[in-house]
Structure 1
Amino acid sequence: MAIGVYVAASDARSNKGAVALGLIELLFRQVGTVGVYRPVVRAGVEDGLINTARSRFRMELSYEQCAGVTYEDVHADLDQAIADIVAGYREVAARCAAVVVIGTDYTDVGAPTEFEFNAQVAANLGTPVLNVVTGLARTVDEIVAAAEVSAKELAEEHAVQIALVVSRVAPALVERVRTALPDSAYVLPEVPRLSAPTVADLLAACHGRLYLGDEQQLGREVGALMVCAMSLPNILDRLTEGVALIVPADRAAALLPGLIAAHRTPTFPALSAIIMNGGMPLPDSVERLLTGMDIHLPMITTPGDTFETATRLSRAEGRFTPDASGKIDSALGLFAEHVDGPALLARLHVTPATVVTPLMFEYDLLERARADRRHIVLPEGAEPRILRAADILLRRGVADLTLLGEETEIRATAAQLGLAVEDAKVLSPFDPELRERFAAEYAKIRAHKGITLERAWDTVTDVSYFGTMMVHLGLADGMVSGAVHTTAHTIRPSFEIIKTLGAGVVSSVFFMCLADRVLVYGDCAVVPDPTAVQLADIAISSAATAARFGVEPRVALLSYSTGESGAGPEVEKVRAATAMVRERRPDLLVEGPIQYDAAAEPSVARTKMPDSPVAGRATVFVVPDLNTGNNLYKAVQRSAGAVAVGPVLQGLRKPVNDLSRGATVHDIVNTVAITAIQAQGD
């Protein structure tokens, strides 16, 4: 039977969607296949929470499977509606290891109170209830009273409360509320951006269409609304960060060029959107001007008059939709920070899955990094992909960040992209105090190479050297770079400044996330043709990296020959390396030389190496050279559909990792999380 949990709110404006998404992620990391089910949905429009959960967690469920009955069905025949709800839930539960049921949205489903209806449904489904009580505009005593009343209502309907979540509590009251409630209660502070509407919400509210701008920015939160009924100078004086401007179409020609210029100028707050109301077309000359300006700011047109448009927009509420990635990340970060996940899982009697999917591995990276936050420096601070990754990392609480670059440029770029990076520290590589300190240290380290203080003074302003010096001197725990710079540019300073552990070699691994397990491949990116000694170092480092990330190391040193069946220089190199590993680390399970099929496939292993504890069960695959490794990981990635996470550098005294210049935002997030976890072991 699937584990089921019913998320029900005892009143409106509770942000229960944030709690539901956080719960889905918590379960997903443990059991892999989690479904979402909404007992009651609105007719004629797809539910945003269902689609958000399906998209974010890549659920193999159709929308229809996740949606129960409509509000009209409940009004028409309550008993039949509940029977249909139970049948729909059981269909989802049969396909998943866990199901999160998200209760109704306070639209009067026909019971004396809507919470009572949700309690009845939960009792019929046999699912415990995660009770969400809003703390918005309530005192501590009022919150405690609301929690007690809702718990009593659940008990009266024979529903079981598994835990209480009090959401949207004023930050100043969080500790007092936590103290006043039992240990099974979790208190979430109010986060304004979670309840703020997105640009997409405004678009839907005014029945508008996107006229110009970047669809990707429809998910950004809106800070405020402002009707532009004054002259341009007066409007400019009243702009605030993230404001959405309502511009009457007959005034747009006069206002738009100046407003867009202000949005692009670092000395003015960045806008979230411009809504042109009235439905009148722009003059051809103005339209040509705008279309030639490469505008990313969403510009929306709507036929309504100013009063109608402003009224509709003011009523827009923040919703979860698949494209509201910032809101989703904020919700997941909030839940992870304030809810004791292990304790909640224990109450639900969750048994972790034996398989590890790629998505489970990636979510586990974020959680492990968040659990012991470290400080990571990102030298390419103005690069949009880096800024987008920083937005996610900060919202999720994965790491503390320093962005290198000029603060005005970085802040302006982030604001124009609608990214929340205000919690990141921004440092200029020309900061006089740090430049002087770094130059003196670098000159000292490289004096044997003839580096003078004057030369060091220029060198340390290079962002890779500046970031590496931060790590070296303990101003950051790790560094991630390479989205813009070459591999050599990124890691050369590390070899000069941070240096290797002992006399070992710097190498790399890829985490190869297959459908049901994670394997480690090393070295596929750094050492072209390792000696036997270097190969032994790579094997030992790769085993240590695997263990740090939860992969039990069983090491196979690969060759074209298995055991004693072959000879030749390449086979002998692997054989010698295997002997060194056994001598240096007798505790490690290691086999070599061994062919890939004998290392990975139990049936082949039974024939070729029946007595080996590694053959057929290897988790760490060490290749004899870079040519083999690079082709191996790419072949598995493409032919088996594996997700390759890396390369992850190993062998340095402090963690520095290199990105591909084609790295996606997703790649950057994973690499920063990996670097933070590496730093936890320092």
Structure 2
Amino acid sequence: MTRSVYVTSTDRGDGRQVVDLGVMELLTRQVDRVGVFRPLAHAGPDPVFDLLRSRYRLTQPVETVVGFRHDEAAALQAEQGTDELLSRLVDRFHAVAASFEAVLVLGSDFADTGLPAELALNARMANEFSAAVIPVVGGYHQTAETVVAEVRNAHDAYAALGCEVIATIVNRVRDGDAREAARALGGHLPEPVYVLPEDPALSAPTVAQVRDTLGAEVLLGDPAGLARDVRDFVFGGAHLPTFLPALTEGCLVITPGDRADLIIGSLAAHSAGSPAIAGVVLTLDERPGEETMRLAARLAPGTPLLAVRDSSFPTAAELVPLRGRLTATSPRKAEIALGLFETHVDTAQLTERLSVVRSGRVTPMMFEHELIERARAHRRHVVLPEGSEERVLRAAEVLLRRNICDLTLLGESTAVRKRAAELGLDLQLLSDDEIADPAGADGPAAATARVVDPQTSPLRERFAEVYARLRAHRGVTEELAYDVVADVSYFGTLMVQEGLADGMVSGAAHSTAATIRPAFEVIRTKPDTGIVSSVFFMCLADRVLAYGDCAVNPDPDAEQLADIAIQSAATAAQFGVEPRIAMLSYSTGTSGSGKDVDKVRQATELVRARRPELLVEGPIQYDAAVEPSVAETKLPGSAVAGRATVLIFPDLNTGNNTYKAVQRSAGAVAVGPVLQGLRKPVNDLSRGALVQDIVNTVAITAIQAQSAVRAPAPAPAPQGARNGAAS
């Protein structure tokens, strides 16, 4: 039977979209097919459903989502009664529920709906849909005492109407009142109560919203600039020396268009990073001259410069009530919302109360959810050498907001902070001198990030001594090492080696060699491993496969291939994929011969000899490895054929091309490459990596660090790593 969850308001202005998003996140972690049903909707586009459809890749037809528009429902209720309205809504709900394992029902929002007794109507709909209910209570501008009273009233109202209330969530409570309200409500209701504080980053509108609200003309600015949050409004009318101290981080400057001094002064302050503004709105339908515009474009590229017809006062009147929205075009706000939800809601407890039976198959989204959950469970510390790279900074905000791991960003401190401010990111970066805390502890409730400049860090001398000692057999002196360790890749690797970070992720702006060569030289391979290799997790529609090695070793011999297979099986098992190894070749079983096939055959035998408990088959062709009908013809009775989960390619050429072909042709999500065989986790990124790719790779690195054996540093070796990358 389909399980449905009804999220409902008790009044308008509760910011319920945060809860809608959070509950959908929990449902999609458990089941593959989640539907959405909004019984009563306003006319026009539905931004919440658009967000859910975009973020969770929903394929549900839009026309099935809505039961009735409010005006239609009000007319039907007036003409034929509430029972007839409910009857039709139940039919439409069940038409949706028949196609899904779970349904998220979005209750009415109490905003100009025209419906009498709206709370009671929501309760009746929930009962008719056999849906569990989560009431959302708005706490904006309320004291802790009134919040407690509102929660009790909401519980009593829905419980009295026969609803199965599984949790109550209070949203948008002032921070101090949130803590007091949470204490007061603890244990006083039969269901759990979660209190979410007001988050200024969610309530802040974007510059794009300001543009749309004012109908402004964009004179300068790029999409990234228009996506900046507006945290404050500063009205310009004073002379420049008086005006500049009034600027605040993320403020939107509003000034007449003929005040070139304030326009240029604001943009110059932004360019200097003190402070980074969101943009400038020019009033009175005035435009700066060409020279001023050219200078503005050079001073702060990408910073929005908008123009409106009205004067400052009516412009302010339109902007003051403007509040940020969760939409499909604001993925950053969605991450902030999820971070808020996951920080203040016991997601394990709420998932259990949702009573959703977990799907038997693993989808790409479920795999990604699992990575984040596991990383967050025992938080680690990861260093990101590319600290001023935009995608890395955006990923860092997601990682911090969702409490996935603690971070160190490497780079010149002013440049990193300025770039983060330009992007409108709230990273709250700590300073270099706060980096010496021991890594590995679970840490405080909120994840933190620090910025460290390898050029000026006091750790540079220490790292130079360590590197010179490790590379003395190559003639490296401390003087030479002092220059080498200033490189961000070497500095980050030495942080991991010295226990100041648990893992490192790089490669968004560096080559693979630049990322992993320091690891070969400093961290080195595990004692029982002869080669460093990689694996991609290929998330297909209904399963996750591990592909190795598609990124590191060009042409491994039989012994190395066996090592890659054993490593890949261990990595797969670590991430919840039961290892069944297929040693791939262009022939299956004994059907072919030749040097390439013989290498795979020999490697298969080595795996069986070294790890007899592993299920392994080879040589085997790809179709026989993954398709049961082909396996039945080519290798009947095999425990692996047709069911392989770990696919080992004979060389880099085959592996790299295959993973990219599957990624593009089958729409698979490729997570990786995940490096394996090193003593401590270091992972590489594709230079085309998206923000979500970086988040996933950092989560994987954190999980590797959770189970890493903290072996002592290796003694200096007389030669480089076996695959030659350390020489």
Q: Which interval holds the TM-score relative to the shorter structure?
A: over 0.9
Q: Which residue number corresponds to residue 585 of structure 1?
A: 611
Q: Which residue number corresponds to residue 433 of structure 1?
A: 458
Q: Which residue number corresponds to residue 242 of structure 2?
A: 234
1:25 to partner: Cα distance:
1.1
How many residue pairs get aligned? The number is 679
Of residues 147, 154, 168, the one that matches 1:150 is 154
Q: Which residue number corresponds to residue 50 of structure 1?
A: 49
Matches within 5 A, 1:89-100: 89-100=93-104
1:241 to partner: Cα distance:
0.7
Range 227-236 or range 543-552, more displaced: 227-236
Does residue 345 of structure 2 align to residue 339 of structure 1? Answer: yes
Q: Secondary structure at the match of 1:326?
A: helix
- The residue identity in structure 1 corresponding to 2:360 is T
Q: Secondary structure at the match of 1:233?
A: helix
**For the residues of structure 2 that align with 1:67 and 1:663, how far apart are their CA atoms?**
37
**For the residues of structure 1 that align with 2:130 and 2:225, how far apart are their CA atoms?**
41
**For the residues of structure 2 that align with 1:111 and 1:153, how far apart are their CA atoms?**
17
**For the residues of structure 2 that align with 1:212 and 1:391, how far apart are their CA atoms?**
26
Matches within 5 A, 1:537-556: 537-556=563-582
**For the residues of structure 2 that align with 1:666 and 1:390, how far apart are their CA atoms?**
10
1:281–1:69 distance in 2 versus 1, CA, 3 Å:
farther
Q: Which residue number corresponds to residue 261 of structure 1?
A: 268
Deviations 1:383-439 (A, max 9, x none): 112112212222222221111011111100110111222242000102342011111
Of residues 397, 407, 424, the one that matches 1:401 is 407
**For the residues of structure 2 that align with 1:677 and 1:12, how far apart are their CA atoms?**
41
Structure 2 segments unaligned to the other structure (5+ residues): 429-447, 709-727
Q: Which residue number corresponds to residue 193 of structure 1?
A: 201
Instruction: Give the conservation status (yes or no) of the 8 Å contact 1:69–1:84.
Output: no
Of residues 621, 627, 635, the one that matches 1:609 is 635
Instruction: Give the conservation status (yes or no) of the 8 Å contact 1:219–1:326.
Output: no
1:83 to partner: Cα distance:
4.7
1:513 to partner: Cα distance:
1.6
Instruction: Give the conservation status (yes or no) of the 8 Å contact 1:464–1:490.
Output: yes
Of residues 487, 493, 499, the one that matches 2:512 is 487
Q: Percent identity?
A: 53
Q: Secondary structure at the match of 2:60?
A: coil
**For the residues of structure 2 that align with 1:538 and 1:332, how far apart are their CA atoms?**
37
Instruction: Give the conservation status (yes or no) of the 8 Å contact 2:255–2:283.
Output: yes
Q: Which residue number corresponds to residue 722 of structure 2?
A: none
Q: Which residue number corresponds to residue 658 of structure 2?
A: 632
- The residue identity in structure 2 corresponding to 1:647 is P
Deviations 1:287-345 (A, max 9, x none): 45445667312222332332111011001122111122221101111222332333323
Q: What is the root-mean-square deviation in Å for CA atoms of aligned residues?
A: 2.2
Q: Which residue number corresponds to residue 395 of structure 2?
A: 389
- The residue identity in structure 1 corresponding to 2:283 is N
Range 133-142 or range 285-294, more displaced: 285-294
**For the residues of structure 2 that align with 1:81 and 1:139, how far apart are their CA atoms?**
38
Range 56-65 or range 463-472, more displaced: 56-65
1:141–1:258 distance in 2 versus 1, CA, 3 Å:
closer
Q: Secondary structure at the match of 2:157?
A: helix
**For the residues of structure 1 that align with 2:74 and 2:207, how far apart are their CA atoms?**
33
1:18 to partner: Cα distance:
0.6
Of residues 278, 295, 302, the one that matches 1:296 is 302
1:140 to partner: Cα distance:
4.0
Q: Which residue number corresponds to residue 645 of structure 1?
A: 671
**For the residues of structure 1 that align with 2:334 and 2:675, how far apart are their CA atoms?**
31
1:543 to partner: Cα distance:
0.5
Structure 1 segments unaligned to the other structure (5+ residues): none
**For the residues of structure 2 that align with 1:284 and 1:240, how far apart are their CA atoms?**
28
Range 537-546 or range 351-360, more displaced: 351-360
Q: Which residue number corresponds to residue 231 of structure 2?
A: 223
Of residues 509, 530, 538, the one that matches 2:556 is 530
- The residue identity in structure 1 corresponding to 2:306 is I
Matches within 5 A, 1:425-464: 425-464=450-489
- The residue identity in structure 2 corresponding to 1:29 is R
1:464 to partner: Cα distance:
0.7
1:321–1:301 distance in 2 versus 1, CA, 3 Å:
farther
**For the residues of structure 1 that align with 2:216 and 2:160, how far apart are their CA atoms?**
46
**For the residues of structure 2 that align with 1:232 and 1:617, how far apart are their CA atoms?**
71
**For the residues of structure 2 that align with 1:611 and 1:157, how far apart are their CA atoms?**
59
Range 170-179 or range 669-678, more displaced: 170-179
1:665 to partner: Cα distance:
2.2
Q: Which residue number corresponds to residue 216 of structure 2?
A: 208
Instruction: Give the conservation status (yes or no) of the 8 Å contact 2:74–2:115.
Output: no
Q: Which residue number corresponds to residue 33 of structure 2?
A: 33
**For the residues of structure 2 that align with 1:663 and 1:566, how far apart are their CA atoms?**
39
Q: Secondary structure at the match of 1:161?
A: coil
1:121 to partner: Cα distance:
2.8
Q: Secondary structure at the match of 1:524?
A: coil
Deviations 1:324-377 (A, max 9, x none): 222110111122233233332322221111222223322332222222221111
Matches within 5 A, 1:276-291: 276-290=282-296
Q: Which residue number corresponds to residue 370 of structure 2?
A: 364
Does residue 495 of structure 2 align to residue 470 of structure 1? Answer: yes
Instruction: Give the conservation status (yes or no) of the 8 Å contact 2:71–2:114.
Output: no
Q: Which residue number corresponds to residue 674 of structure 1?
A: 700
Q: Secondary structure at the match of 2:243?
A: helix
Deviations 1:37-61 (A, max 9, x none): 3333332x42322221122112223
Q: Which residue number corresponds to residue 12 of structure 1?
A: 12
Q: Which residue number corresponds to residue 436 of structure 2?
A: none
1:360–1:557 distance in 2 versus 1, CA, 3 Å:
same
1:527 to partner: Cα distance:
1.2
Range 614-623 or range 335-344, more displaced: 335-344
- The residue identity in structure 2 corresponding to 1:470 is M
1:297–1:291 distance in 2 versus 1, CA, 3 Å:
closer
Q: Which residue number corresponds to residue 412 of structure 1?
A: 418
Q: Secondary structure at the match of 1:245?
A: strand
Deviations 1:48-86 (A, max 9, x none): 222211221122234443334333334434336545544
Query: How does the TM-score come out when normalised to structure 2?
Result: 0.89
Q: Which residue number corresponds to residue 160 of structure 1?
A: 164
1:22 to partner: Cα distance:
0.9
Instruction: Give the conservation status (yes or no) of the 8 Å contact 1:510–1:521.
Output: yes
- The residue identity in structure 1 corresponding to 2:324 is G
- The residue identity in structure 2 corresponding to 1:461 is A
Instruction: Give the conservation status (yes or no) of the 8 Å contact 2:33–2:100.
Output: yes
**For the residues of structure 2 that align with 1:394 and 1:335, how far apart are their CA atoms?**
13
**For the residues of structure 1 that align with 2:325 and 2:478, how far apart are their CA atoms?**
56
**For the residues of structure 2 that align with 1:406 and 1:216, how far apart are their CA atoms?**
22
1:187–1:385 distance in 2 versus 1, CA, 3 Å:
same
Range 591-600 or range 630-639, more displaced: 630-639
Q: Which residue number corresponds to residue 311 of structure 2?
A: 305
1:82–1:239 distance in 2 versus 1, CA, 3 Å:
farther
1:284–1:565 distance in 2 versus 1, CA, 3 Å:
closer
Instruction: Give the conservation status (yes or no) of the 8 Å contact 1:220–1:324.
Output: no
Q: Secondary structure at the match of 1:557?
A: strand
Q: Which residue number corresponds to residue 355 of structure 2?
A: 349
1:122–1:421 distance in 2 versus 1, CA, 3 Å:
same
**For the residues of structure 2 that align with 1:86 and 1:280, how far apart are their CA atoms?**
56
Instruction: Give the conservation status (yes or no) of the 8 Å contact 2:588–2:620.
Output: yes
